[in-house]
Structure 1
Amino acid sequence: MANKPEVTGFHEPRTGSIQYVLADPATRRCAIIDPVLDFDACSGATATRSADAILDHVRERGLRVDWIIDTHPHADHLSAAGYLKDRTGAPTVTGARVVAVQRIWKRIYGLDETFPADGSQWDRLLADGDRITVGELGVEAMLCPGHTLASITLVSGDAAFIHDTLFMPDSGTARADFPGGDAAALWRSIGRILTLPDATRLFTGHDYRPQGRSAAWESTVAEQRATNRHLQAATDEAAFVALRTARDQTLPMPGLMLLALQVNIAGGRLPPPDAEGRRHLRLPLDALPGAGWR
């Protein structure tokens, strides 16, 4: 049992995001991974339906939350880490290289010195090889940059949470063209993940349901190695970088990227309210030159 954590995935259809609860069957302790704060860009409205569904699951299963973890600062949804910390009291965690991402985006957003780019918005920062525990389960952070500078994979027993590195085999791999992204680094991170045992369960961060199939988020190392569409098409680093670079040039930027990242580099906290109690997100113009004209 110690090597087989209980994993429950929650697919958020508007953004294709997968949220997870990683639980220790022996102690009923758990971690929440990559939670989503619902957001409607047209109205500016936020909601907590997705995060509350996780809390309902935790309560119904008799679990206690030890950690709230974001594997990286997400570009396509707002993180609910701050909301869940307020509701559960559990500490928040992300990868230690989030500081580099904060520095990039602090400059893009034109944030002043009241915004600390030191990772202090989280309770714990995990460097490569650092470990935390969920009940009796060990959880090790594996630095896996490429999609972002700060991306980490979380390995616990026979489960690995691989965020936006590998998607399901029929969807291929994650893009690497965001500020700080690197296709060569992504290739090396994928290679590192694929050194895990063949039967390791891999839990991806997104599923966009190609060909309209049902949402899916679990594969294995063996399945990815044998059938991932991008790894079959590109079998060495140079070929992968060429494939990934060409593909990324055809992709539009995520619609919520400029809105989401200012929340996510703040540990999943919305901007503080003004004197009238309203919160405001910034929209930097021409922050990503040419991206809107692909």
Structure 2
Amino acid sequence: MKNKELKILLSAPRGFCAGVERAIEIVEKSIQKYGAPVYVRHEIVHNKFVVDDLRKKGAIFVEELDEIKDKSRPVIFSAHGVPKTVPDDARNYNMTYVDATCPLVSKVHREAENLNKAGYHIILIGHKNHPEVIGTMGQLPEGSIDLIQSEEEAKNYYNKDDKKIAFVTQTTLSVDDTKEIIKILKSRFENIREPQKEDICYATTNRQMAVKNIAKNCDMFFIIGSRNSSNSVRLVEVAKKSGCENSMLIHSESEIPYNKIQQVNTIGISSGASAPEILVDNFINGLKNRFTIKIDEVEIIKENVVFKIPKKLN
């Protein structure tokens, strides 16, 4: 019996962004420079495959610095950024640290600090308890920044200090959802100050646009990425909203629904900014074993962004 034919629309750009590539390189270069083990505070990026691979090379992952028994070993801060208290603690412990915060997250940190110094009360649009949000809120004195997560919260927000207000955003949000929240804030606070340049990062935007571009032509859509990866979860939402209701996240423990794939003709595939391309290859190879596949890579924009690693590792 001839294998069923399956068309794959492969979304591009997908996968690693410049901030993730830089963060992984920082861990690898730190191990080369300082030897193993090096400690990493929080998962360097939200992907189990990447974390497990770095573990094998000599990285030990912790959530807080006080878990590190041997304070003479270096510690790396994850790409999501950290509150100001974390480098302060590292200095108090006399620890060597390397900051792998994505430069685009650092840009939001500096923006929030400058607005705070200029007398603005700040609204952060983002998701509670995400490490990036914790890091950004931790740049400022308590009480000077409020989190808004939804259109509902934007409608009910009130400016309790009667100070001038400004907003910044988490870098990995859904472009469309954020647009709606911003629209509400602007209609309620005419003089609200917005970032000079969009805070949602280029990679998040590009990956969402690429998925949006092909979702309506797909019967099913698969996003390769981790459950705790904000940008991967947003891609699933974008695929659903853009015309492919049957969209799902494929993570390290996912059962691949081959029976359902058997019943469709065209599937879309993309991956989150912290998912390595090998996971996409593995997924496609699993399909090749069962179907006759035709791959059409649909690229909407070329990415050529590269971020330098800290001088101390060169």
| Bigger relative contact order, structure 1 or 2 (CA pairs below 8 A, ≥6 apart) | 2
Same fold (TM over 0.5): no
More helix by share: 2
TM-score (norm. length: structure 2): 0.29
TM-score (norm. length: structure 1): 0.30
More strand by share: 1
